[in-house]
Amino acid sequence: MLGYSLRRLGFLLLTVLLTSVIIFSVTQWLPGDVCRIILGREAGEKALDACRQDLGLEAPLPVQYLRWLADFSGGDWGQSFSTRTDIFPLVMQRLLNSLRLAVLTLLISVPLAVGLGVLAGLNEGKLVDNLISIGSLSVVGLPEFVTGILLIQLFSFELRRWGLPSLPANSSIRPEAGFVESLPSLILPAITATLVLLAYIARLTRSGVLEEMKQSYVRTADLKGLPRHIVVVRHILPNALLPTITVIAISFGWLISGLVVIENVFNYPGLGRLLVFAIDRRDLPLMQAVALVTVVGFALANLVADLVYALLNPRIRYTEGN
Amino acid sequence: MINEKTAPALNIKDLCVAYQQEGEWWEAVHEVSLQIQPGEIYGLVGESGSGKTTLALAVLRYLGKNGMIRQGKIELSGVDLVQLQPAEMRKLWGHQMALIPQNPQSSLNPAMRVGDQIAEVYRHTQDMETGEARHKAVEMLREVNIPDPGRVTLSYPHQLSGGMQQRVLIAMALSSNPSLLILDEPTTNLDVTTQATILDLLRSLIEQRQTAALYITHNLAVVAQMCRRAGVLYAGRLVEEAFINELFARPLHPYTQGLLESMPRLGDHKDSVRLRAIEGRAPVFGDIPSGCVFRPRCPIANEICETNPPLSVLPEGRKVRCHRWEVSLNEAGRSHLPDGRSDRNTTEKHQLQPLLSLEGVSVHYPLKRSLREVVRREPKRAVRAVEGMDLKILSGQTLGLVGESGSGKSTLARATLGVVDKTAGTIELLGIQLPDKLSRRTLDTLRKVQSVFQNPEEALNPYLTVGEILQRPMMTLLGWSRQEAIGRVPDLLRAVRLPAMYAERLPTQLSGGEKQRVAIARASAAKPNLLICDEPVSALDVSVQASILNLLEDLQAEHGNSLLFISHDMAVVGFLADTIAVIYLGELVEIAETGDLFKSPYHPYTEALLSAIPGTKVESRRVAAPLVGEIPSPIEKPGGCPFHSRCPRLVGEICKRQPPPWQSQQGSSKRYLCHIPWEELQAQQGDIQGFEISRG
Amino acid sequence: MATHTGAAPSRGRRFVSQLRRLYAVPTAAFGTTVFVLFLALALLGPWIAPYGANQQDYQGARMAPSSLHWFGTDHLGRDVFSRVLLGAGEILWLSGGGTLLAVLCGTAIGLLSGYLGGWLDELIMRLFDSLLALPALLLALLMLGILGASAWSVLIVMVVVYTPIVARVVRSVVLSVKTRGFVEAARLQGESLGWILFREILPSVLPTLAVETAVRFSYGIFLVASLGFLGVGVQPPSPNWGLMVKEARQTISQTPWALYYPAGAISILVIGVNLMADGLKRIFQTRHD
């Protein structure tokens, strides 16, 4: 198990490293001279040269990459071109916001989705199953920006129009706001994200349950004379829910930065919006920082999933060597 | 002991079971009646699709949504199960009836400790405390002869071998002492030596507990060894029922006769015996013939068989469903060939040229080292699948390769074919050394060595027609044009006894046996010098196996090609091979011409293999210990003799320390690898008993 | 087991009969119909659209749906119905073209890398793993940040984002097919690499590939619309549905129709394609049982 964990960790580092190379080289192709972007059109040749010297742009690319990576690992993420402020605190603030939204979304969606998926799987072909299946297929088809706008219309404008307590349409929150204070702003974005995840996780859970119910060991458990609920809880579910863990982890990674659209709809200050902002301004260091933070978050989520999966799966936990 | 007068434990009457397939209901079991007494093991014999598993699941009332009992009664101790509600059935499961299934690996929950899986029976159905239930679980494991049961209860299924898993399932099934035990091919996926120990265990447990048992299998030899009475199921109908001795001595139904005569028995050889194959294919759903279901394949059918045959009840508890059983009784018997049928045997062996010779061939699969091993600088480990193999195949001869799973026999074949790289040694074809990599072999070399694989389902590309499949080797290996190749296809089909119109068909439209014929036709299309057959019949039904074996033999007689024939089945190898090599853990332990192999002395492993065949025993002048354990991992191979960890005739420390020498004697072609010298081993062993069960 | 005794139907006809089975599942039949309908509208769009995509009618801005403007007009007086109709063509060719290119690249890479194995396979898969370590939308945004926003950039982005996914799916099927007897038999017969890849292996990949293509396509529509909505994909005044939603959002209280119709169109199309993909999945899964 220790060997397995270390191997997964090594694998994670390798992936992050490779991705960082991709991010670095991709951002090198950015058209235009970085210094010209920073200093503007009127900058003289001398100022430009000084700037290039300053940023180390004269060095060969591999050296630049290593320098960048070293700075980055050391917490020196440089300054944003557009805001002229340190990137590190900015990204961390946004990361925190993203994490809040991600955690709340998972808290709502996972129990709900797993519950629905199990319910549908255990009642295959019956009315409940068909309703859940068609419902989830339809919800999956709704783009986040459509559901988000609809939810705002419904829970913000319509409720307010009728003089009822409503939720804020704009979810921009004060940077120093605590979790409780920001909660009302989080609810609508979280529901929108839930709708996206719900169907996805529920469908995978359902097929996991169906897959396991076909296995011979379920027949063995039935024919031992165990009550049906014991068969479901002790035999089917532990095996059926294993793959769901991986899915939840991937979802978590997606929630950290894949929420670009939702954050935009609700004006929520998460990492995704920061990225769109950076792209809009061609803010190279900021783009790199957000991308790398996302990759690390994504990879960490996968690592945790792998480890939890291994911990719950004796076939991995108790296989020596492998 | 078993009293026919008492009420039967299980009484099935006129049972019809139907399955739904693509919206239509098909009858899988039709009007089956049988009784089983307490303490009796009743054998139900049938091939795939005969409905035997459906019958078992119907008795358990576990048919699933698309299965239905159409009519009939299933009385267990007088209670008709057909009338019970699902909830009532759940109370009977485990307590009154239990199942021992076919695939032990998938029948155990992979995520639960073995002990818990047994203990939960006590906890949830008998309201036992956790501690007490655990204690009972250990006790049950001890009862099924599991060594160190306390430790095994803490294991997960994947940590146990197939034999151990099956023992766990047996313990589980017997945990609440059911009055009916259903065994659905419980040893089919196990090795022969493991099968033998499991069968012994089952027999003694059932006898002890006076349980009624329904033993379902395709294997007649197992039925002969285990059961008191048996029924033969064909296309969902019980076509014959009798006491075992009667059934094997005087089979009445033409199908039963066919089954008994289609498989070679130990000691049969192609030079003296012609196998009698059952022609045609078993009916499938929606294609059940009217009248007698066996009519299209029956050698003695006539007009009367177009009507439904009645079930004739004969004296001595025999039943047969056939119009013409009296005729069939007289026609029974296999065709014996006159001596010296084959010209091949007139040539002296030493005049034959070696076609293929392997010298010191080893195949190791290197293992990735774990982090710990790298840190501790432990040596690289490898799966040593084949080790130092020396073998020769003579022109026009058949070399049989016997061994259990994991013995390395397939790896050896694959190394010869060039799909696996060997680690050491040389492989020569007609005196020319073969390169390892397939891509570096010339087309002519490829043409000379062709192969037939084990699984006919995967042997043919499902998206090409049979004709297209057969054209290719002629185009690539012989360089023929498409037109020339197409012209030869009918001949190839004829050679494997398939009609020419099959060229238009897709593989999905063929039965398993037909697929294997096409695979053989493809392999022989470019007239190879050597045909490598890796378990070519093990995935096929018994009645089909014979026709494939006959076919391989005929093709060889016609083309004079050599055959490397690999099988775990001693009787099948013995039938086809001129020389037999026995391998264990990747090493050759014994080799002899077929006639000599079945004469003592035998390598202790060969002896174990022979004794493990149901219905045979090697006479033991000095009683050997039973074979223990299972094949060790080829990663940590024992030193000294590879077989020492399981050997029933272990001499002592020498076996663990020193690699054994080859033993041989003038006048015999046999060589074996053992510390026990020829005379001494011969004095301990005798002839094989049951060598010719019920022949003639 | 099949019991047909006749000759094999031609390959083309077999494929058609597979597709016909789509109509046996009600949800899949619905989805396929929706897709075909949108495809037809997209093809006919330029001929049947009553107005041009950017034809402005200053007198008629912000008009509610009427017989003149079926879906009303937007804040600039453009006919929403015409824009939705013409937008169908735009979104289908972008997402369809991107999906097809990605499927072609992914299939080629997956086949080769899976069949040949070895260090090349290892390298390609590591590279793809790293690409997939970024959420698809994020990768798309990064690339658009570099390529600049345009329809062609969106196409390239789709190929880069989806090729690794398709390649991985194809490769996993190849890995299971290449150990089967018939592939080994082909190698022993000295068949060429091309024959083995395209005649022996590819047909077995096709069912999975069909499902994957449909799934990718539905995500593709999503991606094109989302990028439009974020304003980093196709640029105004293109009648991109996502872009239309973004623009109409500013004036939602006055011209809600300008938002609801394109939003509805995306939703129905994606749901339709999803149902179709689900149907394909069911057909090919039951085939393998």
C5: amino acid identity, one letter:
T
Task: Give per-residue pLDDT as tens, B390-433.
Answer: 999 999 999 999 988 888 899 999 999 999 999 999 999 998 99
Beta-sheet strands, E only, within B166-308: 180-184, 212-217, 229-234, 237-243, 273-274
Residues B17 and B141 in one domain: yes
Confidence at residue C18, expressed as pLDDT on a 0 to 100 scale: 67
As separate numbers, helices (DSSP H) first and strands (DSSP E) second, chain B gives: 25, 28
Q: Count other Cβ atoms within 10 Å, centred on residue B692.
A: 12
Residue A195 Cα, gap to closest chain C Cα (Å): 14
Q: Phi/psi at B342 (nearest 5 deg)?
A: -95, 140
> Within its chain, how far is the Cα of C285 from the centroid?
21
At B493-510, the pLDDT tens digits run 999 989 999 999 999 888
**Are both B407 and B464 inside the same structural domain?**
yes
CA–CA separation, B521 vs B536, rounded Å? 13
Q: Which of B50, B463, B515 to mutate to test the interface with C (most CBs of C within 10 A)?
A: B463
Residues in CB range of B210: below 8 A, 6 or more apart = B38, B39
Cβ burial B284-293 (10 Å sphere, 16+ → b, else e): ebeeeeebbb
Q: Each residue of A50-94: pLDDT tens digit?
A: 877 777 777 788 888 888 888 888 888 888 877 888 889 999 999
Per-residue b or e along B186-204, where b marks 16 or more CB atoms closer than 10 Å to that residue's CB:
bbeebbbbbbbbbbebbee
> Do the bridges between strand B685-689 and strand B335-336 make them parallel or antiparallel, or are there none, so unpaired?
unpaired
Are A137 and A199 spatial neighbours (Cβ–Cβ below 8 Å)? yes
Give the nearest partner residue to B476 out of C1, C3, C191, using CB atoms. C191
Rounded Cα distance, B2 and B94, in Å: 24
- State both tokens at B169: 């399932």
Same domain, B411 and B520: yes
Give the mean pLDDT per block of 10 residues along chain C (289 residues): 43 64 81 91 84 74 75 78 86 93 96 92 86 80 82 91 94 92 93 94 91 91 89 82 86 81 90 88 62
Residues B236, B281, single domain; the answer is no
Residues B330, B265 share a domain: yes
Which domain covers residue B309, as residue numbers?
256-336
Look at chain B and report how many structural domains it folds into: 3
One domain, residues B369 and B302: no
Q: Is residue B100 located within the same domain as residue B53?
A: yes
Q: Which long-range contacts (CB under 8 A, 24 or more apart) does C186-190 make?
A: C186/B461, C186/B472, C187/B419, C187/B438, C188/B417, C188/B418, C188/B419, C188/B438, C188/B446, C188/B449, C188/B450, C188/B451, C189/B446, C189/B472, C189/B473, C189/B476, C189/B477, C189/B522, C189/B526, C190/B443, C190/B446, C190/B476, C190/B477
Q: Do A225 and B93 touch (CB under 8 A)?
A: yes
d(CA C135, CA A255): 9
Question: Which of C125, C126, C130, C153 to mutate to probe the A interface, most A CBs <10 Å?
Answer: C130
In a domain, B412, yes or no: yes
Residues B473 and B522 occupy one common structural domain:
yes
Q: What is the pLDDT of residue C233?
A: 78
Global confidence as pTM: 0.85
Tell me the DSSP string of A119-149: HHHHTTTSHHHHHHHHHHHHHHTS-HHHHHH
Tokens of B204: 């003694």
Q: Which chains touch A (3 or more CB pairs under 8 A)?
A: B, C
In a domain, B449, yes or no: yes
**Residue that finishes a domain, picked among B529, B551, B581:** B529
The b/e string for A188-213 (b: 16+ C-beta within 10 A; e otherwise) is bbbbbbbbbbbbbbbbbbbbbbbebb
- ω into residue A168 within 30 of 0, thus cis? no
One domain for residues B390 and B265: no
Residues B501 and B396 in one domain: yes
Chain A hits for C134, CB-CB cut-off 8 Å, are 19, 291, 294-295, 298
Q: Are B232 and B238 in contact (CB under 8 A)?
A: yes
What is the distance between the alpha carbons of residues B402 and C32, in angstroms, rounded to a whole number?
55
Q: Is residue B508 part of a domain?
A: yes
What is the rounded distance in angstroms from the CA atom of residue B129 to the CA atom of residue B137? Answer: 12
Nearest-Cα distance to chain B for A2, in Å, is 9
Task: Tell me whether residues C8 and B505 touch, CB distance under 8 A.
Answer: yes
pLDDT one-digit tens code per residue, A149-183: 889 888 888 888 888 787 877 777 777 777 777 78
Of A14, A143, A291, the CB nearest to C134: A291
Give start-end residues of each CATH 1.10.3720.10 domain in chain A. 88-312
Report pLDDT digits (tens) over B577-630.
999 999 999 999 999 999 899 888 999 999 888 888 877 667 766 666 667 777
What does pLDDT average to over chain B?
A: 87
Report the DSSP beta bridge partners of residue B433.
B428
Report all structural domains of chain C as residue ranges with CATH numbers, in order of start. Answer: 27-288 (1.10.3720.10)
CB-closest option in A23, A258, A279 to C144: A279
Q: Do B320 and B234 fall into the same domain?
A: no
Distance (Å) of CA B117 to CA A208, A312, B91 = 22, 17, 18
Q: CA distances (Å), A305 to each of A115, A249, A298, B65, B236, in order?
A: 20, 6, 11, 36, 49
Question: What does the block give as tokens for A211?
Answer: 């897959």
How far is Cα A141 from Cα C222, in angstroms, rounded to an integer?
8
Pair B281, B155 in one domain: no
**Angle at CA of residue B152, ends B149 and B156, nearest 5°:** 160
Of B336, B369, B404, at which residue does a domain stop? B336
- How far apart CA B572 and CA C96 sit, in angstroms, is 57
CATH of the domain at B109: 3.40.50.300
Which residue in the block uniquely carries the two structure tokens 């991992």?
Answer: B633
Give the β-pairing of B530-534 and B449-452: parallel
Q: What is the pLDDT of residue B690?
A: 62
Domain A88-312 of CATH type 1.10.1740.10: no
- With an 8 Å Cβ cutoff, are A22 and C259 in contact? no
